[in-house]
Structures are given as structure tokens and as C-alpha cells.
Structure 1
Amino acid sequence: MYPRANALGVVVKGNYILLEEQKGKHSKGDGFFYRPIGGTIEFGEKSDQTLVREFQEEIDVEITVKSYISCIENIYKIDQHTGHEITQLYMVDLQSKDLYQKEKFTVTDGDKITCAKWIPLEDVYSGKKVLYPSGLSDILAQEI
């Protein structure tokens, strides 16, 4: 098995960050956890192009990739399964400014439907909300 390469887009509105909310088992337990919008980098695709495609596919939104933030290598364990991701992180803007007023976005990823919503950055920094990939909250604290 090889590491999975993916890209995630960080969208910020004042003191809030747009995060997908998921529920289930994760490396820190069971329950709600959050992550920025994004997904797997396809063969022959640049990571910033992945974000444009994923935001369109998952929440039907056009974005502008503003800047590269960092790379996170995340090795995690859920039950007996070990996962390994290499994640490229970018700051992105929603192209339509009206979308910043929207409270929730429906996230469609294949057959899986979840939602993305604006989460207070304070909840992310304090650990009140479980954020993935591991280490992202520390990077955000330095970048935002």
C-alpha cells in the first residue's frame, strides 16, 4: 500500500473556517470530526487543479486558489487500519462573494453526503472541534 496524495483548500471568513463535518470512527475516537474541502490528487493532475475540481464536484462552487500553505504528512490508525496521507494545503477564496453568507453547503462525494459549515477558528485552535489532518490546527494558527 502507498501513501495517498491529496489537496485541501482552506476558506476563511473573518474568524471562521469552512469545514466538512463528518461523523464516525477516527484516529482520536468516535464522533464528529472536521476537515477542509478537497480530495485525492488524480494521476497527471496538479494539486491546485485538484482543489478546483473537488470544490466543483463536492459543493458545486468555483474557487480561486490564492496561495500555497504547506504540506502535511499524516500517518494515522483507525482500529487495525493504518492510513498514510500526504496533503498539500492551499488558501482559497470562493469566487462568488454571496456564498460567504451561506450557512451550510451540501457535500457530495460519490454516494456519501455530508455538509460543510463555518466553524469558529477558536474551536479549532482549542481542540473543541477535532480537525484533520493532524497538525493542521497548528499550521492554521501560524498562517491565519
Structure 2
Amino acid sequence: MLRPESVSEIRVVALGSIRRGEELLVQEIEANDAGGRNYRLLGGGVEFGEHSREALHREFDEELGVTLDDVSPVGTYERVFDHEGRRQHEVWRVYEAAIVEDWPYERAEFSFVEPDLGVELRATWKRPRELRSGPDRLYGETLLDDLGSEPHSAQ
């Protein structure tokens, strides 16, 4: 029998690929070893019994106070990695979507609060090629191949 402290969880995450022309809306994570920053798509954890599409809508509402439209699936990704000395396991459901409100598209960057942690985070717009060839990197870099340079059509 496994002891409670040895039981690990798989975290399911819903992420949104939001575009402004050729740019992607990304959240700044941390500095990296290449002298740049690490970024990821915006979104968050899926709660038990909640569909990932519903979680995506909820996360964008809670964190940015915005409504999503034209939500279509891009794919499912699985990552096993070490963070702060612990093995982590995440399954990502990624969706292409649009924000109904204009204000995020009108700003080069903006701050928002992650309500579960009470932490202020920063979002900005980046071109995928900047996240592929420069010191700035997208966490989940394989996403860049699947996202391509054009928005996905509804599926």
C-alpha cells in the first residue's frame, strides 16, 4: 500500500491560445538560463467533474474578467518534469479561442491576479518566432509546432 506522502497526482490544465494577428497572448513565468524569460499560455487547473472547455472559460473569467468565444480544440499534451525537487505530471488541453472584450488586444501587456494563489502575474503578446529562436521561450515548446502561424479553424 502506498503511503499518502508518496502518492502523486496528475494535474489536468486547460490553456488558451489567444491571438492578436501573428502574436500569442502569454503569461510571464520566470527568467531562464538563456538570458530571457519563460512564458506559457494562459489558463489553469481543471477541477474534478469539470470539462476542460468549461475550466478554460472559468479561468479566463476569474483571472482576467473576460469572456471567450470561438473556442476550438488544438490538442492534448502530457508533460512529466521536475520542479523544485519534485516530480510533476500534467496533462494539458489546449484550445484556440478569442476574447470578446477589446481591452486585452489594445494593451501591449497587463497584470492580472491568480485568485487561488493571490499572486500578481504579467501577460504580454509575443510572436511565436520570438519564442522559438530568441532567449525568450514558451513553456511547452512543442506547442509552437502545432499552433503554427495561423489560427486553427473551428473543429
1:74 aligns with 2:79: yes
Q: Residue 125 of structure 1 contacts residue 138 of structure 1 at CA under 8 Å; is this kept in 2?
A: no
Task: Identify which of 116, 121, 125 aligns with 2:132.
Answer: 125
Partner in structure 2 of residue 10 of structure 1: 17
The TM-score normalised by the length of structure 2 is 0.80
Q: Give the distance between the partners of 1:9 and 1:45, measured in 2 at CA.
A: 16
Percent identity of equivalent pairs: 29
1:58-90 Cα deviation digits (max 9, x unpaired)? 122111142100000011113521111000000
Look up the SS of the partner of 2:55 in the other structure: helix
Letter in 2 for 1:119: K
Amino acid at match of 2:121: T
Residue 90 in 1 paired to residue 91 in 2?
A: no
Give the letter aligned to residue 120 of structure 1.
R
How many residue pairs get matched? 142
Residues 66 and 19 of structure 1, relative CA distance in 2, 3 Å threshold: same
The answer to whether the 8 Å contact 1:77/1:83 transfers is yes
Separation (CA, whole Å) in 2 of partners of 1:82 and 1:30? 25
Query: Structure 2, unaligned stretches of length 5 or more?
Result: 1-7
**Over residues 72-128 of structure 1, what are the superposed CA-to-partner deviations in whole Å (9 max), with x where a residue is unaligned?**
001111352111100000001010234311222322113211110111221123253
**Structure 1 regions of 5+ residues with no counterpart?**
none
Higher strand content, 1 or 2: 1
Calculate the TM-score normalised by the size of structure 1. Answer: 0.86
Runs of 4+ off more than 3 Å: 28-31
Which of these residues, 52, 62, 85, is aligned with residue 47 of structure 1?
52
What is the root-mean-square deviation in Å for CA atoms of aligned residues?
Answer: 2.2
Larger radius of gyration: 2
Q: CA deviation at 1:30?
A: 8.9
Say if 1:68 and 1:89, in contact at 8 Å, map to a contact too: yes
